[in-house]
Chains A and B, each alone.
Chain A
């Protein structure tokens, strides 16, 4: 056991194995990158880097995967993961919709056009989720935790996102209309109530499926206590009850809005990373319309350390790595290397995720979570289309030798 240390914080608790090497590497990475951001940008960027780190830990320790939650509902008729997501959306909506409309200058919600691009993109993204093995956040936190297959997914996620950025202007010219903020029609309170009704209806449907299959409903999403260890040890080494992850993720998104001026998003950074890589090999990205728009052009030209999604993604990766080290589970999912069709699934899934995320204006975080937290109609359309695509992805998984 050369790479692990056995800690015994209490006589009543069994030994707690920590992967010291991974924890050290994650802490060194956090210190180096955090110091660089502090020196070269501004304190608010460091704050967002820390928020990203905590979100990465929450996603890992809470095992908060959107993809598995949707799949478990379809294949195992188990709704806890899905209900946890609905609780998260409801709580964030309650906090962030009033924040966005408090009159404070400089806050912008995650709103986006509703049209062909959104429908096609989110549907494709849903297929990609099940083949690639994760959504935007799921891909990142599993990569941070050392999952080799998800590294393949991430590489092709980035490639697909860049391809999507090149095609997005054409898709935007297809039928569609401008963003529809629910607050414009219903007011702040009304928009929250309308969204609660929508979330409640979905929860009722999820419960119905679970009760019909199992005769009862397991309320795992409402558990407050870890199953086997004390609070401190569970906090550091997992696994967190869903409620902890819900609270941290909701607080993290609200903090991102308060500090950065816009809700949490992930996949735009993939576009920037991919486009920068292409420029290094001589491709002039400004020949493509997307990269002439103000925000993408600014992000491409300047340092990744000034790009909020990139900075938060770096934090998320290192936070997940730290969490995996504390749980002594780094790289555990990679003991069986992906081969043949499983590898192909990561490639195809990654491309679909990236292309779909760009056309659909984000992933489960930027479009769905932050979209509902901003009371934008596009988030609900995204949800329906991505879930439909996910149903097809689930059906395709066995061909790719992926377990359901």
Chain B
């Protein structure tokens, strides 16, 4: 069966995604914290238990 994709394109796309993730991570507070910088606030357990929805939205009753 003829291949339905280009191998090069797959490698390029996956590499771009990996690089984007890496760049994002290298500029993050978590990376700074892991590199020994103190006084940075990381968000490993991101949770806002006072929120009213999984996306962090507040309750309608709290809005004016």
Which A residues are closer than 8 A to B by beta carbons? 1-4, 21-22, 25, 29, 32-33, 36, 40-42, 45, 108, 110-113, 115, 146, 165, 168, 172-173, 176-179, 261-263, 265, 268, 271, 276, 290, 293-296, 298-299, 301-308, 314, 330-332, 334-335, 358, 361-362, 366, 370
* A303 CA to B60 CA, complexed, in Å: 30
Given A108-B47, A299-B43, residue A179 in contact with residue B56 (CB < 8 A) = no
Given A302-B29, A303-B31, A305-B21, residue A41 in contact with residue B4 (CB < 8 A) = no
- Of residues 11 through 63 on chain B, the ones whose CB sits less than 8 Å from some CB of chain A are 11, 14, 18, 21-22, 24-25, 28-31, 34, 42-61, 63
**Do most interface residues of chain B lie in helix, strand or loop, or is the interface mixed?**
loop
Q: Which B-chain residue is minimally distant from A21 (CB atoms)?
A: B7
* A258 CA to B33 CA, complexed, in Å: 26
* A294 CA to B34 CA, complexed, in Å: 22
Which B residues are closer than 8 A to A by beta carbons? 1, 3-5, 7, 10-11, 14, 18, 21-22, 24-25, 28-31, 34, 42-61, 63
Q: Could you name 21 residue pairs across A and B whose Cβ atoms are closer than 8 Å?
A: A3-B7, A21-B7, A25-B10, A25-B14, A45-B44, A112-B57, A113-B59, A172-B57, A172-B58, A271-B55, A295-B48, A295-B51, A298-B43, A298-B46, A301-B43, A302-B46, A303-B31, A305-B25, A306-B42, A334-B5, A335-B4
* A112 CA to B58 CA, complexed, in Å: 9
B48 CB to closest chain A CB (Å) equals 4
> B56 contacts A293, CB within 8 Å?
yes
Identify B46's interface contact among A1, A177, A308, CB under 8 A: A308
* A146 CA to B52 CA, complexed, in Å: 36
Given A178-B52, A261-B47, residue A330 in contact with residue B25 (CB < 8 A) = no
Q: Which B-chain residue is minimally distant from A378 (CB atoms)?
A: B53
* A29 CA to B60 CA, complexed, in Å: 42
> B63 contacts A330, CB within 8 Å?
no
Given A330-B4, A331-B5, residue A306 in contact with residue B30 (CB < 8 A) = yes
Given A36-B25, A334-B4, A361-B54, residue A306 in contact with residue B43 (CB < 8 A) = yes
> A112 contacts B54, CB within 8 Å?
yes
Q: Which A-chain residue is minimally distant from B4 (CB atoms)?
A: A331
* A22 CA to B34 CA, complexed, in Å: 33
Which A residues are in CB contact (< 8 Å) with B29?
A: 301-303
> A295 contacts B47, CB within 8 Å?
yes
Given A3-B3, A302-B43, A306-B42, residue A296 in contact with residue B30 (CB < 8 A) = no
> B53 contacts A361, CB within 8 Å?
yes
Given A32-B18, A41-B30, residue A293 in contact with residue B58 (CB < 8 A) = yes
Which A residues are in CB contact (< 8 Å) with B57?
A: 112-113, 168, 172, 290, 293, 361
